[in-house]
């Protein structure tokens, strides 16, 4: 049963050069909210506790325990506001508009105070260089609401396909999640074996952060808003011998020696006759190369993502 693009799915075009200033500002805002999540939640393997989920309105944290209550925070890219909700019924918003990171950070502090929430964070960004402290960052101040909405709609389509790809794996797998450090959407499969100690080296990020992230052998894929219209990527850690030389589909996918990853331009997917199938081809071929070369137990780990549909169809046929 092939996977094809739903009739109502729209894969939007958005040139990175047209919104890069906004992207970089939103990246810093997301780091502030991500650090609130990190400060309030217990560490879950590979930092899964700190990520954002793609929601029906934007990017959302999970429930953050704060002083006996729960807090959740959502970047609403429909009404363009940051929405904070607490389990005692309180709600507050911050407008998403052209404003500096310093101004956003200061207003967030005032809003948290009105909600009687105190959370201490390391108030400077990670995985970027330079790392300007949030309270001092007047460099990033752009917000193009239309571009942000289009970016979110890109993520909506990618989220659908990544969810389906995740369903084809019965082993340990991450959620489909948005990382605020690297500002990308990713999903990762694990072999079940330990990995060698990661060397670290990310800018303004302690090596132990990457050691935690890559503590188990994995094959990962994701999407990052860089390149022409964005870029899909896939990699394995550790990369097995011969991995970079293996072919990856579809046409347009290639190995990037600088990144040490397979890459596929977003516009290749968007412009194809069947974007869902095109992206799945990239995800499946890069995973298969990593798993086969590293001798993963694929008969145990791989499953049919259509198995529920087939079961229901069989039951309907039996009833007849």
pLDDT of residue 320: 57
Q: In the chain, where do the E strands start and end?
A: 53-54, 58-60, 64-66, 69-76, 81-86, 91-95, 177-179, 184-194, 216-224, 231-237, 254-256, 261-265
Residue pair 101/29 in contact (Cβ under 8 Å)? The answer is: yes
Q: Say what the pLDDT of residue 312 is.
A: 75
Q: Enter the tokens of residue 101.
A: 């990171």
Mean pLDDT value across the chain: 96
pLDDT reading at 1 higher than 50: no
Q: What residues does each domain of the chain span?
A: 16-115, 146-301
What's the residue count for the chain? 320
pLDDT at 317 over 80: no
What pLDDT is recorded for position 316?
A: 65
Q: Given this model, what pLDDT does residue 315 score? A: 67
Quote the Cα angle for 237-243-246, to 5°.
145
The answer, yes or no, to whether residue 224 has pLDDT greater than 80, is yes
pLDDT attached to residue 258: 96
Residue 319 has pLDDT above 90, yes or no: no
pLDDT average, residue stretch 44-54? 98
Q: How far apart are CA 249 and CA 38, in angstroms?
A: 36
Q: Which pTM does this prediction carry?
A: 0.95
- Nearest CA among 165, 218, 214 for reference residue 191: 218
Nearest C-alpha neighbor of 51 from the set 230, 187, 216: 187
Report the pLDDT value the prediction gives residue 308, as an integer from 0 to 100: 87
Q: What is the separation of C-alpha 11 from the centre of its chain, rounded to a whole number of angstroms?
A: 17
Q: How many CB atoms lie within 10 A of CB 263?
A: 21
Task: Please report the pLDDT score of residue 85 as a whole number.
Answer: 98
Q: Report the SS3 class of residue 57.
A: coil
- Residue 28 to residue 133: CA distance in whole angstroms: 10
Q: Given this model, what pLDDT does residue 310 score? A: 77
């Amino acid at each position: 049963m092939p996977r094809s693009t739903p009739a109502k799915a729209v894969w939007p075009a958005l040139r990175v050069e047209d919104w890069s200033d906004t992207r970089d500002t939103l990246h810093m805002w997301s780091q502030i909210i991500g650090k609130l999540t990190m400060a309030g939640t217990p560490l879950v393997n590979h930092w899964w506790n700190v990520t954002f989920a793609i929601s029906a309105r934007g990017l959302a944290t999970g429930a953050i325990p704060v002083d006996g209550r729960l807090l959740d925070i959502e970047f609403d890219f429909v009404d363009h506001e940051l929405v904070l909700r607490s389990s005692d019924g309180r709600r507050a918003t911050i407008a998403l508009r052209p404003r500096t990171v310093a101004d956003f950070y200061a207003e967030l502090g005032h809003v948290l105070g009105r909600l009687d929430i105190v959370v201490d964070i390391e108030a400077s960004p990670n995985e970027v260089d330079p790392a300007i402290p949030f309270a001092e960052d007047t460099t990033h101040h752009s917000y193009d609401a239309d571009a942000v909405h289009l970016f979110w709609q890109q993520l909506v389509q990618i989220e659908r396909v990544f969810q389906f790809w995740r369903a084809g794996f019965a082993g340990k797998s991450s959620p489909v999640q948005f990382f605020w450090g690297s500002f990308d959407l990713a999903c990762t499969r694990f072999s079940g074996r330990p990995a060698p100690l990661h060397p670290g080296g990310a800018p303004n990020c302690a090596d132990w952060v990457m050691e935690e992230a890559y503590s188990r052998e994995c094959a990962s894929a994701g999407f990052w808003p860089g390149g022409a219209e964005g870029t899909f990527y896939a990699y394995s850690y550790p990369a097995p011998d011969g991995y970079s030389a293996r072919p990856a589909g579809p046409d347009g996918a290639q190995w990037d020696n600088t990144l040490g990853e397979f890459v596929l331009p977003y516009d290749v997917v968007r412009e194809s006759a069947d974007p869902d199938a095109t992206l799945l081809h990239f995800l499946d071929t890069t995973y298969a190369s990593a798993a086969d070369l590293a001798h993963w137990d694929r008969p145990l780990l791989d499953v049919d993502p259509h198995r529920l549909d087939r079961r229901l169809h069989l039951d309907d046929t039996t009833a007849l």
